[in-house]
Amino acid sequence: MAINWQQEAEKLEPQLLSDLTTLLKINSERDTEHKTSQYPLGPGPAKALEAFLAIAERDGFKTLNVDHVAGRIELGSGSEIFGLFGHVDVVPAGPGWQTDPFNPVIRDGKIYGRGTSDDKGPSIAAYYALKLIRDLGLPINKKIHFILGTDEESDWVGMHRYLESEPAPDFGFSPDAEFPIINGEKGIASFKIVQKPVAAAEAELTLNEFSAGIRPNMVPQEAKVTITGDLPESFAAQVNDWADQQGVKLTLTLGNPTTIKIVGKGAHAQEPKDGKNAATYLASLLVDLPFDPAGKAYLTMIAKYLHLDSRGHHLGINYTDKLMGELTASPDIFTFTQDGEQSVLVNVRYPQGTDADKIRDQIESAVGADQFDVSLSGHAQEPHYVPGDDPLVKTLLQTFTDHTGIAGHEQVIGGGTYGRIIKRGVAFGAQMPGQENVMHQANEYMPIKDIIMAVAIYADAISRLVK
């Protein structure tokens, strides 16, 4: 008997939204400042993991909690393991929200809150797909492991810890991207550009502090600077016109010191063009003023090499691969004080054909090794690709087409998902084609109809893959 997957999924909407609301109310951003021996990533991620596993236990699934940093929901049996990879952590809420980011609101058919689209909404859709398969009594001839991480937005501590003690799935997908499929992901690396000491000299203005950014994978929405000295008389009259022309908001507070704040637009670092980098706009505004040598050098580096150059041309790292597309560069963390660190962290998403060591050398050559030290921050994730003729890719694309009538096709993104953790791993949904990408942005939301359609697509796809 043919199953009307969409109809079955719609029956689950009330309970799904109730469970999703429970998860969204938990602020599960990484919080190592409040870590304990039991909760090494802070209490929030662990609480979200416990809540998700409690939902599964309520529904009769077998679960596993791995050191409060990863978890597993199990179904089926067999010699092969099919994996689902979701995450319960979120990036910080950041500024610009019109509602409480951790008190979800449903309006105009959309549910708003941090994590609705990345990745609590898609993960709960995948969970309800498993529940639907089980409740319909469909044949399952493989083990299904739904693995939940708690640190996908940072260092993948949870997933790496899981794989140290638990078996890796043979194939599978992560519900943490977009349809029709993501079967290729660029490499990801962050590079820290640190300014070397600059000899002091008298100047009309002193750059006391320059700061922006909250995470390496988020285009900074706000930037702030403090300045001592007398600004040119014409400056105050000109800045508002400048801000209007540039499409940013500016707040100038004259005094001793003077503060300037810029508000741009946040975005996911995988596509910096989706945002307006408040920090590089602020540097471009200030760079021609008579600052002290250290401040001048710092602002000049930002304005010359980082402003409005999301493909890394000025850094000398621009590169395009026929399959994976263009390299992207997003300067995301800015730190400057006169007596402390003077640095910028640049997040780079790179295709096959180049590598992190080469990119580091190219950045250092561009900015000048005599003025700046450049180093890899953390570890680099190499590019990942599962061929389009792999049965996993073909099955997922066909399922998507069967449900939507839209022809499926391969896609490569600059984002990084847990799909790359295994050789035959991809990302599959849940963002629908043409839907606004609001991941990592203020007022993040997901259309409820898209969550329910994802349940239907996931259930059908998983059923085809494990029967």
Annotated catalytic sites, by residue? 89, 152
CA terminus-to-terminus distance, the chain: 15
Residues 198 and 260: their CA atoms lie apart, in Å, by 24
Residues 276 and 246: their CA atoms lie apart, in Å, by 9
- Residue 107 pairs in a beta bridge with 110
Residues 87 and 93: their CA atoms lie apart, in Å, by 16
- Give the closest residue to 264 by CA, choosing from 234, 228, 299, 308: 308
CA dihedral 247, 253, 257, 260 (to 10 degrees): -10
Residues 95 and 265: their CA atoms lie apart, in Å, by 10
Residues 61 and 71: their CA atoms lie apart, in Å, by 12
Cβ atoms of 399 and 461 within 8 Å: the answer is yes
DSSP state of 216: T
243 CB neighbour count, 10 Å cutoff: 18
- Residue 227 pairs in a beta bridge with 207, 258
Phi, psi at residue 6, to the nearest 5°? Answer: -65, -45
